[in-house]
C-alpha cells in the first residue's frame, strides 16, 4: 500500500507539467485532442507514431509545436522518390586538404523527426529510417552513432493518393507503436482555425518542459502498475486477432490474414501506461486499454482480400474484438 501511495505521488509530481504543455500546444492547435493525446503517449512511452490523413490537417504544425514546447530539436524530412539514405542519416565528406573523411550527420539526429509522406520514398530510404527507429543507432561508413535518448519519429502518409508511392511493408509498419487517423475538424473548430490563421501572426510557443523532464517522466511511466488481470485482458485481445474462430468470432476467420505480433502486446501495455500517466493515475485500467487499442492494433491486423472487397477495415475488426472480449 505504501509503495502504491509513493508511486501515485511520483506520478502527480512528474505529470505536473502536462496541463502547461497542453495549454502551450493549444495556443496553436484547434481541436484534434485525440491526436495530441496520441503524440504525447508515444513521446512518454518512448515509441514512434504513424499518422494517416489528407494534407492540411496540421500534422506538421503539431509536431513542430510539441518540439518547441519541450525545447527539443526538430527536423522535417520531405520524403520523395529521389531521396537517398544519405539524405536522411548523413554521409562521409572527403577533405582534400587533410586527405581524411569527416562525417556529416543527417536530419535523423534531431530529437523529434517528422517523416513527411513516408510512403513517397523508396524502400532503401524507408529501411534506413526504420532501422534508426528500431536499433536507436545509425552507421555511417565505419562509425556507429547512437541516437539521442529523446528520439521520436512522427511519420505521415496520405491515404488517398497512391500513384507513385511505395507502401510500407507490414513488418516495417509494425515498428510504429501507434497509427493514428487524422480527421477533419468540426465546423466550429474550422471557424476558429480561420480566425487564428488569417491574422498574419501565430501565437509564440514557449518551452514549458525540458527534455530532462520528459526523460524523468518516462521512468515513472515505466513504473505505472499493471495488474495481472489487465495483462491477461491484453493477451485475450491479441490472441483473438490471431485465432478469431477459436475465440468465438468465427465470422472474422475469413477477414483476417494475419493478427498482431507480440510487439502489439508490448506496445499496448506501454501505451496504456502513458495513457494512465497523462490522466494522473499510477495504475492502468481496462478503459485505458480500450481507449488505446485501436491505435495500437489497427496497423497490426492484416485484413484479407475478402475484407477489402466487403469494405471492412481493421478498425471495424478491432471494435468487434473489443465488444466481444470480456473486460476484467
pLDDT at 236: 93
Write down the residue that cell numbers 527534455 correspond to: 211
Kindly state the helix (H) or strand (E) to which residue 61 belongs, with its residue range: helix 59-69
User: Residue 106 and residue 202: Cα distance in Å, rounded?
Assistant: 29
Number of Cβ atoms within 10 Å of the Cβ of 96: 6
DSSP 108-134: GGSSEEEEETGGGS-HHHHHHHHHHHH
- What pLDDT, on a 0 to 100 scale, did the predictor assign at position 294? 94
The highest-level CATH class for domain 32-197 is alpha beta
CA distances from 178 to 21, 263, 265 (A): 21, 11, 12
Residues 270 and 275: their CA atoms lie apart, in Å, by: 9
Give residue 158's pLDDT.
77
pLDDT of the residue at 96: 80
CATH for the 224-324 domain, from 3.40.1160.10, 3.30.300.30, 3.40.710.10, 1.10.8.80: 1.10.8.80
Task: Write out the three cell numbers for 48.
Answer: 514512434
Where are the domains positioned within the chain? 32-197, 224-324
The pLDDT tens digits along the chain (328 residues) read 455 668 888 888 888 899 999 998 888 888 788 888 999 999 999 999 999 877 777 788 888 888 899 988 899 998 888 888 888 888 878 778 777 777 788 899 999 999 888 888 888 888 888 888 888 888 887 788 888 899 999 988 877 656 556 677 777 788 899 999 888 888 888 888 888 777 777 778 888 999 999 999 999 999 999 999 999 999 999 999 998 888 888 888 888 888 898 999 999 999 999 999 999 999 999 999 999 999 999 999 988 898 888 888 889 999 999 998 888 8
Half-sphere exposure of residue 237: CA atoms within 13 angstroms, side-chain side: 33
- CB-neighbour burial class of residue 19 (10 A; exposed 0-12, middle 13-18, buried 19+): exposed
Output the nine-digit C-alpha cell for 58: 496540421
Amino acid at each position: 500500500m505504501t509503495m502504491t501511495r509513493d508511486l501515485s505521488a511520483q506520478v502527480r509530481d512528474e505529470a505536473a507539467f502536462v496541463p502547461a504543455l497542453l495549454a502551450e500546444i493549444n495556443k496553436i492547435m484547434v481541436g484534434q485532442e485525440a491526436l495530441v493525446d496520441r503524440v504525447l503517449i508515444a513521446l512518454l512511452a518512448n515509441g514512434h507514431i504513424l499518422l494517416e490523413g489528407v494534407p492540411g490537417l496540421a500534422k506538421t504544425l503539431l509536431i513542430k509545436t510539441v518540439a518547441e514546447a519541450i525545447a527539443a530539436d526538430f527536423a522535417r524530412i520531405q520524403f520523395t522518390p529521389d531521396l537517398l539514405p544519405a539524405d536522411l542519416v548523413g554521409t562521409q565528406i572527403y577533405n582534400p586538404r587533410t586527405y581524411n573523411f569527416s562525417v556529416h550527420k543527417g536530419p535523423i539526429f534531431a530529437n523529434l523527426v517528422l517523416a513527411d509522406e513516408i510512403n513517397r520514398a523508396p524502400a532503401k530510404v524507408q529501411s534506413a529510417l526504420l532501422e534508426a527507429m528500431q536499433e536507436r543507432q545509425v552507421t555511417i561508413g565505419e562509425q556507429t552513432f547512437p541516437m539521442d535518448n529523446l528520439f521520436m519519429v512522427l511519420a505521415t502518409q496520405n491515404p488517398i493518393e497512391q500513384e507513385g508511392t511505395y507502401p510500407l511493408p507490414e513488418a516495417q509498419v509494425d515498428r510504429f507503436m501507434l497509427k493514428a487517423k487524422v480527421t477533419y475538424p468540426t465546423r466550429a473548430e474550422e471557424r476558429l482555425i480561420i480566425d487564428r490563421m488569417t491574422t498574419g501572426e501565430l501565437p509564440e510557443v514557449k518551452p514549458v518542459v525540458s527534455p530532462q523532464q520528459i526523460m524523468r517522466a518516462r521512468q515513472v511511466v515505466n513504473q505505472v502498475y499493471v495488474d495481472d488481470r489487465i495483462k491477461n485482458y491484453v493477451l485475450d485481445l491479441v490472441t483473438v486477432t490471431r485465432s478469431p474462430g477459436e475465440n468465438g468470432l468465427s465470422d472474422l476467420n475469413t477477414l483476417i490474414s494475419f493478427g498482431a505480433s507480440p510487439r502489439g502486446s508490448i506496445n499496448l501495455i506501454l501505451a496504456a501506461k502513458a495513457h494512465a500517466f497523462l490522466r494522473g493515475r499510477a495504475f492502468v485500467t481496462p478503459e485505458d486499454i480500450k481507449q488505446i487499442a485501436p491505435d495500437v492494433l489497427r496497423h497490426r491486423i492484416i485484413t484479407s482480400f475478402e475484407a477489402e472487397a466487403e469494405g471492412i477495415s481493421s478498425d471495424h475488426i478491432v471494435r468487434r474484438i473489443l465488444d466481444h472480449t470480456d473486460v476484467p
